[in-house]
Chains A and B, each alone.
Chain A
């Protein structure tokens, strides 16, 4: 076979043609290359040498190339990293970062992912939730009516600022946990990794908009209690993927959904209403994955309920001597629901906050029952949940 490069230089595209011609041929095949570029022979010989081909120049100036084994040998022990549409039970570490279904050259690093068991990581809902999450991203600059004018009484504004300050530290914890987990998951489970990545990005947005609302009227941030931070630290301390996901998403975010609903309803201004409503929609998705993931597991692992129970008890024991919810936050919620300092308003506010806590408890019991806990045990465990809500 003869390949005529005409006036084309080897270094300006000729290499591609030579490579393409050789690619379709088995080792030991011969082609000749001709062309008018003065560097062609020099470049062809150098390139063939480095590529494992044998180049000789005939008396007529034609370069004869005998294809080498380099390419064939490189791929001789290659394998597919699974199939694009099938999730493997135990993807091997050496599949590593390769795309699911990619042709893998043998050799290379053997990274160890400690979360490499489909039954621990996967939920069948993950691909759909990921698509839903990707479609549900909102732009903090335009989704929130930052320019709507409003003026609040000083105490109400202070209550909003305190609640935003509290929300931010909870969102920071909710950001770090999925971000840390996703680095431990085998990339083969890319939908789960992607879902956790979007979840972390959701939380980053929540941190952003809650901070902006807190500082919106030119004041300073509110307070952060030691007990609140202790509660979040105990959440971050859980290394087990299943248990971390249970404590954060099912119990913590499951509780938070009610809090954000409450804030949406009692928001004294359009900005507070928008940021809590937007965050609530994201949180509902985080809870959905947490529940789906645990359902998938409890179906295969009969020991799971016992482990979940012990995780709740352990966390309760760690937190038993801490104050739980920041008193300033509790008071701010009450005042927000009351709307002003009139005694009957405060009494109504108090009832609203009681109702909120009852709703949170009912929500947790519902999730726990869905995972398989009997009703009495669900009630008992729900009561042990952190008083910090998250």
Chain B
């Protein structure tokens, strides 16, 4: 029998540990499951649309592209499940505590540091948030991008952390950072407690999801969904994997948390309406 095959992007070596562990668990539970690894999200999305894999563990940006590609081809596509921790994230734009920047409008003419070109949380979403405050990136203010791990859609924190460092070093006037990473960078000492001031926060948005198209075997998709949803944090066999993957439970996939990112992708011209990569400086 052909195994139900999922794609995952190796933004970190732990991805192998996680999906090897889940593979053992899922197989033992009766689902013929396998996974393949990708070095970046674009090929994973293309393979999903081409039917070479049955599911893709997608970044929010990869979801946007997959959805656009699928709809352009008339393929059904949906978010099967997501982690509890993929729901209701927020990004912040922060300045140094002693900065003269008091409001978003004060960013005019200044320099804002972001993560990698393809980071939803540290680049695309906060810049879209500023657009909604009538500040055009590159026109009303300068964007200083920190391109680390391009193609990993911001899963690699390196660029985001470098942006935070640049803020503290005085090289830029503001930096964009995910809420949880602001807390993390505080702990790491990259952004010492009290060294930054909160300028503005995006609306809440959602992060990764497990994307499937209509091409996969429906009963296997249903089995995969049911087993993921059944994973319990109380199960000592699966808990270390949930800890590594950063979730307490798999929840229903919902897609109404991606509106801000849809706008960001369109406004920045990252992908066109049919899912073609159109971002000028994007080389995954």
A residues adjacent to B (C-beta < 8 A): 9-12, 38-39, 42-43, 45-47, 49-50, 52, 68-70, 73-74, 76-77, 105-108
Q: Are A42 and B248 within 8 A (Cβ)?
A: no
Closest chain-A Cβ to B240's Cβ sits at a distance in Å of 6
The residue that B179 contacts in the complex, of A43, A69, A74, with Cβ under 8 A, is A43
B residues near A12, Cβ cutoff 8 Å: 193-194
* Interchain CA distance A24-B128 in the complex, whole Å: 41
Assuming the contacts A42-B90, A69-B248, asked whether A47 and B183 have C-beta atoms less than 8 A apart, the reply is yes
Additional A-B contacts beyond A9-B193, A73-B248 (20; CB < 8 A): A11-B186, A39-B198, A42-B182, A45-B179, A46-B180, A47-B180, A49-B84, A49-B85, A50-B246, A52-B233, A68-B248, A69-B234, A70-B248, A73-B232, A77-B236, A107-B237, A107-B239, A107-B240, A108-B236, A108-B240
A residues near B84, Cβ cutoff 8 Å: 49, 52
A residues near B234, Cβ cutoff 8 Å: 69, 73-74, 76-77
Q: Which residue of B lies closest to A77 (CB)?
A: B236
Q: Are B201 and A42 within 8 A (Cβ)?
A: yes
* Interchain CA distance A73-B201 in the complex, whole Å: 33
B residues adjacent to A (C-beta < 8 A): 84-85, 87-90, 92, 178-180, 182-183, 186-187, 193-194, 197-198, 201, 232-234, 236-237, 239-240, 246, 248-249
Closest chain-B Cβ to A111's Cβ sits at a distance in Å of 16
Number of contacts between A and B (CB, 8 Å)?
Answer: 72
* Interchain CA distance A47-B85 in the complex, whole Å: 10
* Interchain CA distance A29-B236 in the complex, whole Å: 24
> Can you list 10 A-B pairs with a CB-CB distance of less than 8 A?
A39-B198, A42-B179, A42-B182, A49-B180, A52-B84, A52-B233, A73-B239, A73-B248, A74-B233, A107-B236
Q: Which residue of B lies closest to A55 (CB)?
A: B88
Closest chain-B Cβ to A320's Cβ sits at a distance in Å of 54
Assuming the contacts A11-B183, A12-B193, A42-B198, asked whether A106 and B236 have C-beta atoms less than 8 A apart, the reply is yes
- Among all A-B residue pairs, the 9 with the closest Cβ atoms: A107-B236, A106-B236, A52-B248, A46-B180, A73-B234, A46-B179, A73-B233, A11-B186, A38-B198
A residues near B246, Cβ cutoff 8 Å: 50
Q: Which residue of A lies closest to B92 (CB)?
A: A42
Q: Are B232 and A39 within 8 A (Cβ)?
A: no
